[in-house]
Structure 1
Amino acid sequence: MSPLHEMSISARSGIGLFSSSVQVLLIFSVVLSVASAGCSTARIKKQGRGLDAILTQPTPPEPASVMAEKQSDAPVQASDEALSGSSDGEAAEENRVPVGSITIEHNELVEKWIRYFSEKDRERFQRFLDRGAQYREVVENILEENGLPKELYFLAMIESGYRSEATSIAKAAGVWQFIPATGRRYGLQVDHYADERRDPIRATEAAVKYLTDLYNVFGSWHLAMAAYNAGEYRIVGAVVRGKSRDFWKLAEKKVLPAETLNYVPKFLAAMTIGRDLEKFGFDESGSERYPDLEAVEVPAPVRLSDIAKAVGIPFSELKRVNPHLPRDMTPPGATSYEIWLPENLAKNSATVESIRSALASKKIHGLRRVAATAEASRYHRVRAGENLGRIARKYRMSVSYLKRLNGLNSNRVISGQTLRVAAKSYHPKPVKSARGLASGSSKAKKIRYRVRPGDNLTAIARRFGTSVEELKRMNSMKRNHVLAGQTIRVPSRL
């Protein structure tokens, strides 16, 4: 694809995913090949064929010492808080995937895409920024809370332009452009009644897990992103043929697919522009603010129009925040299903019960039932011998994120306890000062918050359970003035 061609939506992201066992077997197959140096190399089959594409090779690949080569992104260990293990079920120290910052290369390809986005395709790139801005806070926080670089926010931007309705010719869909098999493997419901690839928050959680898997395999963000675009098997094949784990060396040797050759430079260009919007003449100030939402369980199957009436909001608004329900009803796979509702309504238990009661008589009968895969994947029942570290690893998330999802103050869990493993809200919740994480606590973990149009320090402080003075101290600010699009540090909500 020509570097000056319009930015295309990837049609192959997420093909042939890695479960933990697949990662081990893939790496093991490559390690075996070191002992087989000199053997003829079999061509790796096209991605998306499953683990058999590697295990059925007549001879193993021949990268020699390629896979032991120093990784180009030089990642550093990013561990979560140390968690002491004990017989009472407290989490042991978490084996976090080592991640590092994403290296920006200022080469000819990257510069060409910077010029393209900032000059020739300027209006469309501004639309991408505007659409993405409403999701930016939640996407970056989910990435950071799970130990991944927040800059991966721009990966979804080049995948879909942050259009939840985006669909490729290969049937990849949603903000993160997952194909159906990818979405299902990472816990998303994809069927006739629900396509959670189009739910920005659920899809972001799935993307975090997939990207974690890819980084575990390749040890390089450039190669992990290349695999996200082309499929991991094609990138393993490129590494084998090119005898390098450096993306740019593989590009020079012309062993990468044409689209992938431009995919990583496009990401780096978008990331470069996004880091300094003013320099390139862009802004996010005109972006519409996405509403604060909470996941609420309602009867299924019922029509969204009936839910809108029971809740007292326009159908269009309910549909807007639940873009993953193409039939305008909750799926018939279970007796209930979680949808997104305005936070102010969802927090009122009496209102929620009233809504459920009103909808009980509105259930649709006679529909073919489908497997309720998504609902089951949002919870985990603790088994004997499990701790938070083990559970977090299973769901490819950090212990701190798992604790926040469940409102846990300690690391102790007990057998039979049910834990939530999927987000319940779109936006951060205030931190309670009683837990020692609000103003004045030097041990409080901090996250980044992008100031929205209409925000001021007072509103931001109230939202995060701190004070204006504490926000000013954290950000070395002398005045109370903040600008839309500005990034400031705020207390994390653990």
Structure 2
Amino acid sequence: MIIKKAALSFFLLLSIQLFSQEIAKVETKLSYLDSIKKTFVKDDMASCVDSLWAKQLTDLDLYNNLNEDIKTINIDEKVDYELPTDLLKARLKAMDEKSPFNIEYNEGLENIIKSFLKNRKKSFSRLLALSDFYFPIFEEALAKENVPLEIKYLAVIESALNPKAVSRVGATGLWQFMYQTGKQYNLNIDSYVDERSDPLKSSEAAATYMTKMYAIFGDWDLVLASYNSGPGNVAKAIRRSGGQQNYWNIRKNLPKETQAYVPAFLATMYIFEYHNEHGIRPDKSIIKHFSTDTIMIKKQMSFKQISDLLDVSVEQLQLLNPSYKLNVVPFYENQNHFLRLPKEKIAVFTSNENRIYAYVQHEMDLREKPFQLTNAIALNDIVNYTTQSITLPKTKYYKVKRGDNLGEIADKYSVTIADLKKWNGLKKNTVSYGKSLKIITNESIVRTVRKEPKTNKIPLEIVTNNQKIAASDVKNNTITKADTVSQGKSSYYVVQKGDNLGNIAKNHNVTVEEIKLWNHLSNVNIQLGASLQIANKEADIKQETAPTPKLENIEYVVLKGDNLGKIAKKFGTSLDDLKQWNNLQDHNVALGSTLIVAKNEVAIMNRASANTFKKKENLASVSKNTSTDYYVKKGDSLY
């Protein structure tokens, strides 16, 4: 028994030792974020503000409660609170001596001061904490415009010092600017940013507004009233009061909310000036404005990424950067955006800027990418299948509405008036109300095709029976075997960025009209990534001698915005030739008319027999007698 216990103890001891060695061998795998932060150069920094407290300060309950008080309070109703009237009069007089506002005692003002002291002491404790950060910003902006610094208390009434406050009518920010007013004062508003919530920029706009209103009324009490109800309502109240211009004399003729607005402002000023005397102590301050700084952002990043990198709570980032609506600092090429941080975090950011942006890029690379069309031409032999965009005709019907005309309908579906008339058997440019018009449009679809095995490259020099060959000086009449191979198969080209039909046709030795014909295109517009056929599917040349080109005039239907000069430049001809071929007396052309833009007046003779050109009449007769057979394929139509 003793031997068995000793053996068991020895086995346990050995197992513990082996297990501890295995644990020692395991290395903790660091995440990419931890590896980035591990390389940071850190200094001794003060602790961050508690995130829960920051969140509480940004809640909208204080704004909602204070806003409701101002709307519903009855300043004529007496409030039971221990504040001697004589003492209040003395304090108001002392405030009046230091202020350009008319701060005079009256029962209405006494009632609203007592109401705030009785019901809103806790609210003012929080407001005093917030004022440590916001008031220096307000005072700087107001001083620049020579506006009384007491106006800073107006932001308490407007938004309860909450830059995210939004009223029921859409007024936003510390100073409650409406959308149009914000735009009027150059406050940028887009999907990412709302500068009405930016403390600096909105304060500058508010100071500018106050200056303009004072130039109109010449009285700061009336400026406050106009800020709440608009200058028009203040002007009407002055007229209804017989021309009196003291706020307290015209108050009864102002809107109901404005009647309590200025008294609420003065009551707020009193409580901020005498909060110690009433036992109101500021709550924990979020942060002093002078202990923060800004840094320009060079790559879009979210508050979550910044929080993870710098160990700053998202709530504090929201509090310091309230103008970013989606908790994202965007990056625009032509506009700078700044991030406000505590100064010690600014030091961390600037010391590790490259590493921070590397982490942001890493996060961006991990995001799912949008669908991208695969090129129709494979670049290697690894993939056996590829996708291909092809354009096919599609028939639609449009019911003519009142006021419609063929031109508008043609523009809507990117077709020509001539085509509309041909498809619907119309002889005139007018169309009756309620008629259904047949419209054939091009529709791009993506299909999967098997790749051909990789072979030796063949120069893409496709010889076809077209106007370009008939009008050029052909060096010889013999078609090489390589040319025959190219002609026996259809060739495709994937549209690249910056391409147009003109340069594609030039690069592949074909004409624009041929590309349009082979791909059923009604105009010269092409889609990026589309696959274009650039060799005639019907061409199957079995002989080594080129046949006589078919002699046909090339026609063009005049589109909206065309003129004779543009058409001549497009088809490489002269204005005089266009006028002669189409019997035009001047440069005017009608929308939808058909013009001859190239004449087949020359043909290539067989060099073995002659090297000269015949007369036009002989060529015409040769062209008439030449016939071409075409075998109908599945899906073909006469059109």
Output the TM-score relative to the length of structure 1: 0.50
Query: How high is the TM-score relative to the length of structure 2?
Result: 0.39
Tell me which of the two structures has the higher relative contact order, counting C-alpha pairs closer than 8 angstroms and 6 or more residues apart. 1
Which protein is bigger by CA-based radius of gyration? 2
